[in-house]
């Protein structure tokens, strides 16, 4: 069986070594030494101003919304994982969808202004598949209308935009360290901001608002993560060079295998800063995508329809997003992960090309 992804796993011996330290200290959570070490190591590796390690990428978005005081309407994308929208609704905000660019698959900045009303307080945009949004255009709009900007950068570990980490942009950027991600801590997430005061406020929010054992600084939530998860992250971070190189070479090999097909690929905002976290392919029709998906699955190969359906079809929201609806119906992410071999890629490619000929 070839799944769409598999988590990278470090040496079990290395992990056991860190576990022995955890057992010896008997300090499992509540801002332990490995959590602190992971935050410092991530800050240095990514060259970011401030990072907080949290329990998952969804709580990261919720913390961002709460800390920035975002209320009312929020401009967002319909082409993302459900957590982008559900976090807004969970926090009492109203998602207002702006359709995507058909080439980058990110929110289309040229359509944002017409969606802004007197009730708009922020823009929540997703860097889809690790491909940065048009950050400069979004920030110019936000500055013009005094809007907060939050980025869902769940796909963006090691992605850069104009020579800096993509996490350095917006008022707050959030990410996921889930096991399906390029860099993972089994479960986990990160919150990033250049604002030192905002970072301090986020640190309180992560731990119920605690400012010492008997004082509180504002309303908080349990967004902490454990020493066991941090241990996994510290080890995986040491392999990131290998992981990124491998993912890039696998992407290039897919392009070589499929070079004679009519498949379409995403247009990269910053080619030099891309992390190759996913391999999405866009078919000419939904029928063609489904024929390909079925042939692959019949042969124990499991691509995934990222992101289907378009979020504007959720029962608790509404929106007119024809481009997102169209793209979501005819896109597949092909398998890509560290252990995927060239032989397996050849096999996947043969079935994809066979399916295209069937159409």
**DSSP of 302-321, one letter per residue?**
--B-TT-S-GGGSTT-----
Pairing of strands 160-161, 164-165: antiparallel
Q: Given CA atoms 307, 51, 232, 212 in this order, what sign does their dihedral have?
A: negative
Using DSSP's 3-state secondary structure scheme, residue 206 falls into: helix
- Say how many Å lie between the first and final Cα of the chain, rounded: 25
Strands (E), the chain: 51-54, 73-76, 94-97, 120-126, 148-152, 160-161, 164-165, 172-176, 189-192, 280-282, 331-333
Does residue 307 have a cis peptide bond before it, meaning omega lies within 30 degrees of 0? yes
Q: What is the pLDDT of residues 246-268, one digit of tens each?
A: 999 999 999 999 999 999 999 99
Give the model's pLDDT for residue 359. Answer: 59
Structural tokens at position 83: 């957590």
Structural tokens at position 134: 């048009």
Average pLDDT over residues 82-111: 98
Q: What is the pLDDT of residues 280-321, one digit of tens each?
A: 999 999 999 999 999 999 999 999 999 999 999 999 998 999
Identify the CA nearest to 154 among candidates 123, 131, 134.
131
Q: What is the pLDDT of residues 93-107, one digit of tens each?
A: 999 999 999 999 999
Average pLDDT over residues 44-51: 98
Task: Evaluate if pTM is beyond 0.85.
Answer: yes
Question: Following DSSP, what letter does each residue of 32-79 receive, concatenated?
Answer: -HHHHHHHHHHHHHHT-S-EEEES-HHHHHHHHHHHTT--SEEEE-SS
Residue 358 has pLDDT above 80, yes or no: no
Give the model's pLDDT for residue 123. Answer: 98
Average pLDDT over residues 21-34: 97
Residue 327 contacts residue 266 (beta carbons within 8 Å): no
Neighbours of 359 (CB within 10 A): 12
d(CA 187, CA 104): 28
The model's confidence at residue 130, banded by pLDDT at 50, 70 and 90, is: very high
- Burial letters 26-56, b for 16+ CB under 10 A, else e: ebeeebbebbeebbebbeebbebebbbbbbb
Structural tokens at position 331: 């896109």
Average pLDDT for the chain: 96
Using DSSP's 3-state secondary structure scheme, residue 352 falls into: helix
Residue 309 contacts residue 79 (beta carbons within 8 Å): no
Give the model's pLDDT for residue 211. Answer: 83
Q: What is the pLDDT of residues 170-222, one digit of tens each?
A: 999 999 999 999 999 999 999 999 999 999 999 999 999 888 788 888 889 99
Give the model's pLDDT for residue 215. Answer: 82
Using DSSP's 3-state secondary structure scheme, residue 141 falls into: helix
Average pLDDT over residues 10-23: 98
Place of tokens 């000419």: 284
Neighbours of 155 (CB within 10 A): 24
Structural tokens at position 97: 């969808």
Structural tokens at position 167: 């996490």
Residue 271 has pLDDT above 90, yes or no: no
Identify the CA nearest to 3 among candidates 303, 248, 279.
303
Give the model's pLDDT for residue 14. Answer: 97
CA distances (Å), origin 28, targets 37, 52, 235, 236: 14, 17, 17, 19
Give all domains of the chain, ordered by start, each with its CATH number. 12-98+106-237 (3.40.640.10), 240-358 (3.90.1150.10)
Neighbours of 214 (CB within 10 A): 6
Residue 62 contacts residue 124 (beta carbons within 8 Å): no
The model's confidence at residue 1, banded by pLDDT at 50, 70 and 90, is: very high
Average pLDDT over residues 229-247: 98
Identify the CA nearest to 151 among candidates 60, 254, 216, 37.
60
């Amino acid at each position: 069986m070839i799944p769409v992804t598999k988590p990278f796993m470090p040496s079990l011996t290395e992990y056991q070594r860190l576990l022995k330290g955890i057992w010896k200290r008997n300090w499992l959570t509540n801002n332990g030494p490995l959590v602190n070490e992971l935050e410092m190591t991530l800050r240095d590796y990514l060259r970011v101003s401030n990072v907080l390690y949290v329990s998952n990428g969804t709580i990261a978005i919720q913390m961002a919304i709460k800390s920035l005081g975002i209320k009312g309407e929020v401009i967002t994308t319909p082409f993302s994982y459900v957590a982008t929208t559900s976090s807004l609704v969970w926090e009492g905000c109203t998602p207002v969808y702006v359709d995507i660019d058909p080439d980058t698959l990110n929110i289309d900045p040229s359509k944002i202004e017409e969606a802004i009303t007197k009730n708009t307080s922020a823009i929540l945009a997703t860097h889809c598949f690790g491909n940065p949004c048009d950050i400069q255009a979004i920030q110019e709009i936000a500055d013009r209308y005094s809007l907060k900007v939050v980025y869902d950068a769940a796909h963006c570990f090691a992605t850069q935009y104009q020579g800096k980490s993509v996490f350095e942009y917006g008022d707050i950027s959030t990410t996921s360290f889930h096991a399906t991600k390029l860099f993972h801590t089994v479960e986990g997430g990160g919150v990033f901001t250049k604002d030192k005061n905002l970072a301090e406020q986020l640190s309180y929010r992560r731990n119920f608002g605690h400012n010492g054992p008997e004082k509180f600084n504002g309303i908080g939530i349990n967004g902490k993560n454990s020493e066991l998860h941090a241990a996994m992250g510290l080890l995986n971070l040491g392999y990131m060079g290998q992981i990124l190189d491998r993912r890039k070479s696998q992407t290039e090999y897919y392009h070589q295998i499929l070079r004679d097909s009519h498949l379409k690929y995403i247009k990269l905002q910053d080619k030099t800063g891309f992390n190759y976290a996913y391999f999405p392919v866009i078919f000419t029709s939904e029928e063609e995508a489904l024929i390909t998906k079925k042939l692959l699955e019949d042969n124990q190969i499991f691509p995934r329809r990222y992101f289907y359906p378009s979020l504007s079809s959720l029962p608790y929201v509404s929106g007119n997003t024809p481009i997102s609806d169209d793209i979501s119906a005819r896109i597949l992410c092909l398998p890509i992960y560290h252990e995927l071999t060239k032989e397996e890629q050849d096999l996947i490619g043969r079935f994809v090309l066979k399916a295209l000929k069937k159409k």
